[in-house]
DNA sequence: CCTTGAGTTGAAGTGTGCTTCAACTCCGAG
DNA sequence: CTCGGAGTTGAAGCACACTTCAACTCAAGG
């Protein structure tokens, strides 16, 4: 036990992420695996950290595509250090702060509206395009230009 | 101008919601419309408020299905009063509080991890199943039992 | 050697929240 | 009456994040 590499089942068990999801992540280039002679995946233990980062990032509200970009910015030659991971986490922190701030604003506005009961589209600060709070939703939103968006 | 009812184009323009989305909402039972002799939709002005509520609720992170349930709880006979709307908004407020709280916790944990750079699945408070912070994501998640979840 | 559980692939399905399309009708101005 | 913009429908498409399936191979114990 405790060998150098992990099978997909082991990585799945340890990370709590379904094997099918891990294969999906690999297709998207988020994680990598060596192959045995029989074409089975063998994961380096450092991949555990990548998977952890992926799941945490998703909780922050980052798309897999953006997570991939972030992971691509890790040093390619050497194994990432704690500092490398910390730098990535820090960039998410700003997003998280912004999300928390906007939700707080929404709550305050909602409180105001609970007071007045208006829910008026024009009057209310609540319904304010250009503020574009939550572009978290899924789905095809090709109509929205989304040019004035937040930080890169 | 300023007639009793609105066409779908007018409601779309006033609410900032695409006409196709309004038809979709109607299919889901979130809004309603009378019909002219020629089968065109005519919206009562109170529908504006429903649309506003829908969009605000989405920002809070509520699914259309749940929004529908909430809207169904409005008094059916009379036109909803400001108090009726306020009651609905208030129920979302608790969700919003919870979301903000969880995101705050995630941020604190992330700060801790920026310090230690660990991102370890087991050690870290960050990666903690049972906490199940963000079930906001889309997609088919049939695998997750999700029984121990939060408040109703 | 045989069996069995774990792994492999590509293709298709799921759920949410819409948009887009084609083909058609309605309605008001001129 | 004619024209064009606005409206109608159902069906299909899109984007994301996966899961599920079928059909197959691998690997390790008995």
Buried b (16+ CB within 10 A) or exposed e, B59-73: bbbbebeebbebbee
More confident residue, A41 or B59: A41
Distance CA A16, CA B10 (A): 49
3-state secondary structure of B102: helix
Mean pLDDT of A42-55: 92
Distance CA B23, CA B29 (A): 10
Cβ of A133 and B96 within 8 Å?
no
A31-35, A37-41, A105-109: least confidently modelled range? A105-109
pLDDT at B108: 83
What is the percent of chain A where pLDDT is above 90? Answer: 45
More confident residue, A135 or A89: A89
Helix (H) or strand (E) holding A5, with range, is strand A5-6
Nucleotide showing the shortest C1' distance to residue B36 CA: C26
Distance CA A131, CA A143 (A): 17
Encode pLDDT of A75-105 as tens digits.
988 988 888 888 888 888 888 998 999 899 8
Among A92, A120, A134, the residue with its CB nearest the CB of B58 is: A134
Which class for A93: exposed (0-12), middle (13-18), buried (19 or more C-beta within 10 A)?
middle
A43-52, A134-143, B38-47, B112-121: least confidently modelled range? A134-143
- Which residue pairs, CB below 8 angstroms and at least 24 apart, start in B3-8? B4/B44, B4/B45, B5/B34, B5/B42, B5/B43, B5/B44, B5/B45, B6/B42, B6/B43, B6/B44, B6/B45, B6/B47, B6/B48, B7/B40, B7/B41, B7/B42, B7/B43, B8/B33, B8/B40, B8/B41, B8/B43
pLDDT at A121: 47
pLDDT at B8: 97
Question: Would you give per-residue pLDDT tens digits along chain B (152 residues)?
Answer: 457 899 999 999 999 999 999 999 999 999 999 999 999 999 999 999 899 999 989 988 899 999 999 999 999 889 888 888 888 888 888 889 989 998 998 888 887 776 665 665 445 555 544 343 333 433 333 333 322 333 32
Encode pLDDT of A110-119 as tens digits.
877 765 656 5
Cβ of A107 and B115 within 8 Å?
no
Among A52, A83, A117, the residue with its CB nearest the CB of B86 is: A117
Record the tokens describing residue A85, joined without a space: 């991971």
Kindly give, in sequence order, each residue whose CB lies less than 8 Å from that of residue B1, ignoring residues fewer than 6 positions away.
Answer: none
User: Which residue of B108, B110, B116, B118 is the best one to mutate when testing the A interface, meaning the one whose CB has the most A CBs within 10 A?
Assistant: B110
* Listed residue (A24, A59, A54, A18) closest to B144, CA to CA: A18
Distance CA B102, CA B128 (A): 12
pLDDT at A13: 94
Nucleotide D6's nearest residue (CA vs C1') is: B9
Cβ of A52 and B117 within 8 Å?
no
Question: Which chain A residue has the Cα nearest residue B55?
Answer: A127
Cβ of B99 and A103 within 8 Å?
yes
Could you tell me whether strands B41-44 and B34-35 are parallel, antiparallel, or unpaired per DSSP bridges? antiparallel
Distance CA B25, CA B12 (A): 12
Record the tokens describing residue A22, joined without a space: 């891990």
pTM (2 d.p.): 0.80
3-state secondary structure of B35: strand
Question: Which chain A residue has the Cα nearest residue B103?
Answer: A100
- Assess whether pLDDT exceeds 70 at residue A136: no
More confident residue, B68 or A108: B68
């Amino acid at each position: 036990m405790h060998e150098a590499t992990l099978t997909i089942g082991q990585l799945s068990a340890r990370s709590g992420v379904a094997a099918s999801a891990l294969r999906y992540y690999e297709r998207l280039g988020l994680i990598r695996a060596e192959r045995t002679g029989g074409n089975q995946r063998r994961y380096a233990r450092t991949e555990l950290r990548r998977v952890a980062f992926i799941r945490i990032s998703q909780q922050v509200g980052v798309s897999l595509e953006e997570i991939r970009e972030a992971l691509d910015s890790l040093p390619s030659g050497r194994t990432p250090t704690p500092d490398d991971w910390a730098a990535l986490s820090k960039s998410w922190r700003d997003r998280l702060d912004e999300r928390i701030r906007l939700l707080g604003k929404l709550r305050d506005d909602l409180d105001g509206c609970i007071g007045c009961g208006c829910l008026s589209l024009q009057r209310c600060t609540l319904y304010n395009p250009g503020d574009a709070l939550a572009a978290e939703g899924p789905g095809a939103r090709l109509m929205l230009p989304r040019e004035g968006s937040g930080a890169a």
